[in-house]
Chain A
Amino acid sequence: MSDLALVPSTPLLLPEHGSLVDPVPQVRAAARRAVAWLVTRSAGPVLVLSADPLGARVGRALLVAAGWSGPVDELVATASDADPERLPDTVLAVADGTACRGPDAPGGLDPRAAGFDGGVERALREGDPGALAGLDPALAGELLCAGAPVLRLVGRVLGPPASARLDLAEHPFGVRYWVARWEGAGAAGRMPTTARG
């Protein structure tokens, strides 16, 4: 059974990018709470699953901030890679939604972005891996959803969790950030049997 925390990939979360006034206090607080929850449940290695090396750095930094001193594995999800056979019990997924959520967003305002992100949020909230696995990679690319390969991989290799929650969904700078937790997800195709607590 796997536990999953999903956090944003924004480098604003890296300690070397700290400002006197935190531009993302709520995002940082929610991400830290989710990672703290994840590591208290972990006995073995934590897998940092990201879309690129910068996302991996963000994941590692959050683990350090949470006091995790155990082993950390990294997996960079790309559209072309074959899926791993299974994921470890503890997964820290680092992924953002679209980058087209306003006129000042990196990709400008795209009216399709809210619907795309809304679909992901429903899947995260309801624990629906099938919906994540089915994200359209072409549309994700057009909407600059850099986290799509991570979301799709999670959807393909994890089964439905025993419980799911979406802690945060916002786009202060036009990029959609999420913090979510899945508890007790089985492997794909199998229902979870028990939830650890």
Chain B
Amino acid sequence: MTLRLGRHTFPDDATLMMAIVNRTPDSFYDRGATWAEDRAFDRVAEVVDEGAEIVDIGGVKAGQGPVVDVEEEQRRVVAFVRRVRAAHPGVVISVDTWRAEVARAVCEEGADLLNDAWGGYDPRLAEVAASYGAALVCTHTGGMTPRSAPHRVAYDDVVDAAVRATVAEAERAVALGVDRASVLVDPAHDFGKTTFHSLELTRRLCELTATGWPVLVSLSNKDFVGETLDVPVGERLVGTLAVTALCAQAGARVYRVHDVVPTRQVVDMVRSVTGHRPPARAVRGLA
């Protein structure tokens, strides 16, 4: 299905890199590396240069930490979105937020995509997407409160739960007026899930792609990779790329990443193996 992400459209065979740009002092992976606005701005230029089609700007760390209220989140992201919009008209601007107030403010500044990483916690987010013609990521968190950590979460069938929740939220968004071509679903590895749940989601991702909704996966350096390989943050790239390959084989369309270039290579390689992408330039044995 053709993807329409705000002012940008992509053909139905395109895979997209969504580069993470944190405007936070405390995110787990970069530990505030782009907390200063100029550093975050430089990071946008860097990932765009590396070929990212989407930047995902976040003002609140997903994990537990100091309270960030609406006003503080807006201070972190709204003016920054305006600056990125002006400097990079060709990039899709996504904002990672669960709050409708923040979503409305960034859409006013030209955001194309709302990454509702907390699974419709604020049901008005879809209404904001509809009213601004923005795209929406519908995620499965199992009903978690934003920024809470999972504790003894259990599902009869985590994949079935993720499929049902994301498809229901996608249909609700469409009913509210979001363009059907502007909805992504994300099973949300680690969010409201144990490592075993995230491994099963990866193993059975094809059940989510089979719904026909374009699938976003956010795997990069996550704890389920770290726990599986017993490696700390900073040593999870290989594990991240391994699960990326499996998700690419299952047909995921959008990859939320810290490392654009290696992820793009893995996805391109897998898509060429599966016959969805021609080689860049193949002449071996064909002259």
A interface list, Cβ under 8 A from B: 10-12, 17-21, 23, 99, 105-106, 172-175
Cβ-defined contact, B286 with A11, below 8 A: yes
> Could you say which interface size class chain B belongs to?
under 10
Chosen A-B contacts, 19 in total, with CB atoms closer than 8 Å, are A11-B286, A12-B286, A12-B287, A17-B282, A18-B278, A19-B278, A19-B280, A19-B281, A19-B282, A20-B277, A20-B278, A20-B279, A20-B281, A23-B281, A105-B287, A106-B287, A173-B283, A173-B287, A175-B287
Residues of B close to A174: CB separation below 8 A: 287
Q: How far is the CB of A85 from chain B (nearest CB, A)?
A: 35
Chief secondary structure at chain A's binding surface: loop
Residues of B close to A17: CB separation below 8 A: 282, 286
Q: In whole angstroms, what is the CA distance A15 to B287 when docked?
A: 15
Cβ-defined contact, B283 with A12, below 8 A: yes
Residues of B close to A10: CB separation below 8 A: 286-287
Q: In whole angstroms, what is the CA distance A20 to B286 when docked?
A: 16
Q: In whole angstroms, what is the CA distance A19 to B279 when docked?
A: 5
Further pairs besides A10-B287, A175-B287: 11, Cβ < 8 Å: A10-B286, A17-B286, A19-B279, A19-B280, A20-B277, A20-B278, A20-B280, A21-B281, A105-B287, A172-B287, A174-B287
Residues of A close to B286: CB separation below 8 A: 10-12, 17
Q: In whole angstroms, what is the CA distance A12 to B281 when docked?
A: 10
- A-B CB proximity, top 6 nearest: A173-B287, A21-B281, A19-B281, A23-B283, A12-B286, A175-B287
Query: Which residues of B235-287 have CB atoms within 8 Å of chain A's CB atoms?
Result: 277-283, 286-287
Q: In whole angstroms, what is the CA distance A18 to B279 when docked?
A: 8
Residues of B close to A20: CB separation below 8 A: 277-281
Q: In whole angstroms, what is the CA distance A175 to B278 when docked?
A: 24
CB-nearest residue of chain A to B280: A20
CB-nearest residue of chain B to A22: B281
Q: In whole angstroms, what is the CA distance A21 to B279 when docked?
A: 8
Residues of A close to B282: CB separation below 8 A: 17, 19, 23
CB-nearest residue of chain A to B282: A19
CB-nearest residue of chain A to B277: A20
Q: Which of A10, A19, A175 has the most CB of B within 10 A?
A: A19
Q: In whole angstroms, what is the CA distance A23 to B280 when docked?
A: 9
Q: How far is the CB of A57 from chain B (nearest CB, A)?
A: 13
Q: How far is the CB of A130 from chain B (nearest CB, A)?
A: 30
Q: In whole angstroms, what is the CA distance A20 to B271 when docked?
A: 13
Q: In whole angstroms, what is the CA distance A173 to B280 when docked?
A: 17
Q: How far is the CB of B95 from chain A (nearest CB, A)?
A: 32
Q: How far is the CB of B47 from chain A (nearest CB, A)?
A: 22
Residues of A close to B280: CB separation below 8 A: 19-21
CB-nearest residue of chain B to A11: B286
Q: Which of B280, B286, B287 has the most CB of A within 10 A?
A: B287
Q: In whole angstroms, what is the CA distance A13 to B287 when docked?
A: 10
Q: How far is the CB of A44 from chain B (nearest CB, A)?
A: 32
Residues of A close to B277: CB separation below 8 A: 20
Q: How far is the CB of B193 from chain A (nearest CB, A)?
A: 37
Q: In whole angstroms, what is the CA distance A18 to B280 when docked?
A: 9
Residues of A close to B278: CB separation below 8 A: 18-20
Q: Mark B165-200, 1 if CB is under 8 A from A, else 0.
A: 000000000000000000000000000000000000
Q: In whole angstroms, what is the CA distance A149 to B63 when docked?
A: 73
Q: In whole angstroms, what is the CA distance A19 to B278 when docked?
A: 5
Q: How far is the CB of A96 from chain B (nearest CB, A)?
A: 9
Q: In whole angstroms, what is the CA distance A175 to B282 when docked?
A: 16
Residues of B close to A23: CB separation below 8 A: 281-283
Q: How far is the CB of B276 from chain A (nearest CB, A)?
A: 12
Q: How far is the CB of B137 from chain A (nearest CB, A)?
A: 28
Q: Which of A20, A172, A175 has the most CB of B within 10 A?
A: A20
Q: Which of B279, B280, B281, B283 has the most CB of A within 10 A?
A: B283
Residues of A close to B287: CB separation below 8 A: 10, 12, 99, 105-106, 172-175
Q: In whole angstroms, what is the CA distance A99 to B285 when docked?
A: 12
Q: How far is the CB of B182 from chain A (nearest CB, A)?
A: 27
Q: In whole angstroms, what is the CA distance A12 to B286 when docked?
A: 6
Residues of B close to A175: CB separation below 8 A: 287
Q: How far is the CB of B270 from chain A (nearest CB, A)?
A: 15
Q: How far is the CB of B256 from chain A (nearest CB, A)?
A: 24
